[in-house]
A and B are shown apart, each in its own frame.
Chain A
Amino acid sequence: MQHKLILHALLLAGVLLAAPVWAQEEVTSGQYRYKDRESSTGYYEDYEVRPGRGSPFLQWDKVQEEGIGYSRIYADKYRPGNTRFRADAHAGVYDYRYKRCADCHKDKAMINRHVTKEDIACRQCHGGEPMAGVEYYYSPMNPIRRHAYVCSKCHQGASASYARYLVHEPPPFAAATLSVFPKLYYSSWAMLFLVLGTLAFFLTHTGVWVIRDLFTKKDTKGVDDED
């Protein structure tokens, strides 16, 4: 009887405790086994791997043309792989040492009041070489420490909230701003309509009034004459 109980218990345990064994199945996939043997992160820049035959669905050449150097500028902005996450954001840029920031980033400089009004150089905030991407974990520009390492150099007491001021401010009336900063876009347009509407109405009103006034005559009788 006791033996039967032990046998059933073992059979039951064999059935129920088999789950961990099934779970090990995942390492049988080629991808996971490859990653187990791989010492790197598994993410490669295009210049690190031999060119493949490419995908028939993607026009690689066109994407490459518009990017800066070899950077994967079109990788998702918020995912590793984008230059914003790299320790050296300019690695692989052709003739980098002979370039000035504005040679490639003129658009960014033009919408930055620190540059246009205060004459602050890019490197005063973005740091020296190698210039890390702003999202790179150890970068002083990383939002978790930007306020303390960058903003506070001039704006004493700057908080993380303060560092959320858009230094590279998108032009408020540009259509592209609608997707990156809709609140600025809508409020600026609303205010512009208010300004133009009010001025257009009152300028016309005053203009017509001034002309109409030319045809009016004052009553020149004094107060004593009236009485």
Chain B
Amino acid sequence: MRIRRFTPVQKTFHLLLIATFLTQSVTGMARMYSTTLFGQVLGAPFGGYENCLAVHKVVGLAMIVLFACHVIYALFLVLVGKLEKGDSLIPALRDFKEFFSHLRWMLGGRLPEFERWAYWEKFDYWAVFWGMVLLGRTGIMLYNPVETARFMDGSELNIALWMHRLEAVLAMGYIFLVHFGVVVLRKHSFPMDQAMWGGNADYEMMKLEKPEWIARLRAGGRLDGLLVKESAPVLTAFSYLVGLGGVSLGVYLIIGGLINARLVPW
């Protein structure tokens, strides 16, 4: 038995975010490591160092447009009243309490009963905003440095490049290690969480982890509408292909990046 956790529009947003994020990671790393074989191999499919920058710029703009579309979509959902209180992604005092309860559980306490979005999922969601503000802003500054220097001192570009790099390292480290760890390595998710665009979330898993959400759905009489049978094998295969493909690429980038870091003239 499975439960629908994301709508097709949300799944499409996530798929587009994965595609653009991985493209930015590969082209960005290809440029950062351009003096090493690792970077040259990464850049080869895009046509080399210069073309990587062209792709990085275009996909970066696409990410900003996608981000704007998502903000409009989220505001639309809020304004038309499609969201209940428990569906909100806004951090609340409850999340801080649950965070500490979750830590206690890790050391042997009782598992807290989460609502639809647990604190780590809210953090994942808002981390994209955080990243977009920092990476998007410095990315726009570096998009056309000559034009940027008309509005600020040219030395700001030195800072912008380093902030862009460091924030990119944080984003990649977080997604490839922490986010992938949560959706792949956990016992009940392994080998990959199907909640997104595979075959929806595992109902038993949700009952264990998000009992408050299930209780709210049941009380509102909407639980049956969200329950679905086992997913189609084609979708599951697609999910594994895209998901585990992304995970492998991410892990390859992290390992290659660490091994080659000492060879790069920063």
Contacts and interface: CB of A to CB of B under 8 A. Distances in A.
Contacts of B202: 218
Contacts, number: 127
B176 to A, nearest CB: 11
A183 interface: yes
Interface in B152-181: 152-155, 157-159, 162-163, 166-167, 169-170, 173-174, 177-178, 181
A156 B146 CA distance: 8
Contacts of B111: 216
B145 A223 contact: no
Nearest to A224: B1
Which of B150, B157, B158, B205 has the most chain A CB atoms inside 10 A of its CB?
B158
B150 A159 contact: yes
Contacts of A92: none
B38 interface: no
B105 A212 contact: yes
Interface residues of B, number: 46
A209 B186 contact: yes
A165 B157 CA distance: 6
A191 B188 contact: no
Interface stretch (A14-22, A133-141, A200-208): A200-208
B37 interface: no
A220 B174 CA distance: 32
B177 A210 contact: no
A202 B170 contact: no
Contacts of B265: 110, 113, 116-117
A164 interface: yes
A164 B155 contact: yes
A218 B174 contact: no
A74 interface: no
B153 A161 contact: yes
B203 interface: yes
A116 B266 CA distance: 9
B146 A202 contact: no
B152 A206 contact: no
Interface string A186-218: 011001101100110011011111101110111
Given A157-B146, A209-B186, A210-B186, A191 B154 contact: no
B178 A202 contact: yes
B206 to A, nearest CB: 10
A171 B154 contact: no
Given A164-B155, A165-B154, A165-B155, A184 B162 contact: yes
B182 A223 contact: no
B89 interface: no
B62 interface: no
A25 interface: no
A181 interface: yes
Contacts of A191: 162-163, 166-167
B149 interface: yes
A165 B34 contact: no
A219 B207 contact: yes
A88 interface: no
B262 interface: no
Interface of A: 110, 113, 116-117, 155-159, 161-166, 169, 171-172, 181, 183-184, 187-188, 191-192, 194-195, 198-199, 202-203, 205-210, 212-214, 216-220, 222-223
Given A202-B178, A210-B185, 8 more contacts: A162-B146, A169-B158, A184-B158, A187-B162, A206-B182, A218-B208, A220-B204, A223-B227
13 contacts: A156-B146, A162-B145, A162-B149, A191-B167, A203-B177, A205-B103, A206-B181, A206-B182, A209-B102, A210-B187, A216-B208, A218-B207, A219-B207
